[in-house]
């Protein structure tokens, strides 16, 4: 009599990458709804369809998990940008980069708050992936301002690092009330305001006064024409 071998049905195991992806997606959903402070690992596990202990196989702590989620979001913001190459002109490109930073804060306030209050307060922040991603974002504005200085479009008496800090300092200061849940901001208005202050304040003297000089010359020409007409009439 032939022996029949029976196989027990085993649990279908997801590939590690898929499981990690599911956990991070669940974590992003929970932090977006509740904020970092009120996020529970047990709820993340439940939404990801795993037991809580599974989370700690892939992430050291809640902070570690959330930092990786924030990094993935930050990278997504940078990688998904297809608009910048199409935009022409220093002022418009500057305005767009400011607008993009403001929009990312508007879309993900909980993630932005976590980055500001938790990730950047880490003593090892400068050695983290978060720091490298932040450098990529700020480098775009630094490059833009540096090129404008080299072309003579911007003055040379203000350094690029100071310009960069002014721009991002304005963004953080203007959105802080929103991140605390105490106010709101108009993205277009703030983007225009910061871009105008920087662009007009940094415009090289000859460029800044060009339109004024043209107006004065035009007026002088009109005055000269009138004087000639009067002089001709007296002859």
175/113 Cα distance (integer angstroms): 10
User: pLDDT tens-digit profile of 46-79?
Assistant: 999 999 999 999 999 999 999 999 999 999 988 8
Give Cβ neighbours of residue 131 (< 8 Å, ≥ 6 apart).
125
Q: Which of 12-21, 31-40, 110-119, 134-143 has the lowest mean pLDDT?
A: 12-21
pLDDT score recorded for residue 19: 92
Position 83 confidence tier, pLDDT thresholds 50, 70, 90:
confident
Q: Is the pLDDT of residue 221 over 90?
A: no
Task: Give me Rg for the CA atoms of the chain.
Answer: 28
Report the range out of 11-15, 78-82, 227-231 with the highest average pLDDT: 78-82
- Per DSSP (E only), the strands in the chain are none
pLDDT score recorded for residue 231: 59
pLDDT score recorded for residue 128: 93
User: pLDDT tens-digit profile of 155-185?
Assistant: 999 999 999 999 999 999 999 999 998 989 9
What is the number of alpha carbons within 13 Å of residue 65 lying toward its C-beta?
29
All structural domains of the chain, each given as residue ranges with its CATH number in brackets, are 15-59 (1.10.10.60), 63-210 (1.10.357.10)
Q: Is the pLDDT of residue 224 over 90?
A: no
Quote the mean pLDDT of the chain. 86
Position 232 confidence tier, pLDDT thresholds 50, 70, 90:
low
Q: What is the DSSP string of 16-66?
A: HHHHHHHHHHHHHHHHHHHTTTT--HHHHHHHHTS-HHHHHHH-SSHHHHH
pLDDT score recorded for residue 40: 95
Query: 61-96 burial by CB neighbour count: b if 16+ within 10 A, else e?
Result: ebeebbbbbbbbbbeebeeeeeeeeeeeebbebbbb
pLDDT score recorded for residue 204: 80
Q: Is the pLDDT of residue 145 over 80?
A: yes
168/90 Cα distance (integer angstroms): 17
User: pLDDT tens-digit profile of 10-46?
Assistant: 445 668 889 999 999 999 999 999 999 999 999 999 9
69/213 Cα distance (integer angstroms): 54
Query: pTM score, two decimals?
Result: 0.78
pLDDT score recorded for residue 15: 82
């Amino acid at each position: 009599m032939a022996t029949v071998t029976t196989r027990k049905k085993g649990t279908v195991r997801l590939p590690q990458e898929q499981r990690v992806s599911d956990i991070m997606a669940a974590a992003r959903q929970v932090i977006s709804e509740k904020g970092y402070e009120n996020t529970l690992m047990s709820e993340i596990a439940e939404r990801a369809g795993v037991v809580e202990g599974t989370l700690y196989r892939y992430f050291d702590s809640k902070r570690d998990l959330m930092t990786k989620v924030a990094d993935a979001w930050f990278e997504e913001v940078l990688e998904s940008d297809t608009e910048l190459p199409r935009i022409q002109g220093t002022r418009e490109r500057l305005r767009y980069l400011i607008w993009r930073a403001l929009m990312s804060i508007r879309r993900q306030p909980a993630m932005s708050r976590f980055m500001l209050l938790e990730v950047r307060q880490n003593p090892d922040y400068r050695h983290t992936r978060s720091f490298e991603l932040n450098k990529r974002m700020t480098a775009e504005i630094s490059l833009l301002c540096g090129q404008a200085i080299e072309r003579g479009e911007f003055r040379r008496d203000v350094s690029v690092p100071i310009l960069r800090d002014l721009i991002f300092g304005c963004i953080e200061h203007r959105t802080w009330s929103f991140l605390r849940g105490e106010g709101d901001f108009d993205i277009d208005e703030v983007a225009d305001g910061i871009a105008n202050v920087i662009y007009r304040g940094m415009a090289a003297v000859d460029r800044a006064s060009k339109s004024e000089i043209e107006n004065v010359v035009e007026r002088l020409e009109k005055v000269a024409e009138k004087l000639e007409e009067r002089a001709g009439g007296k002859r």
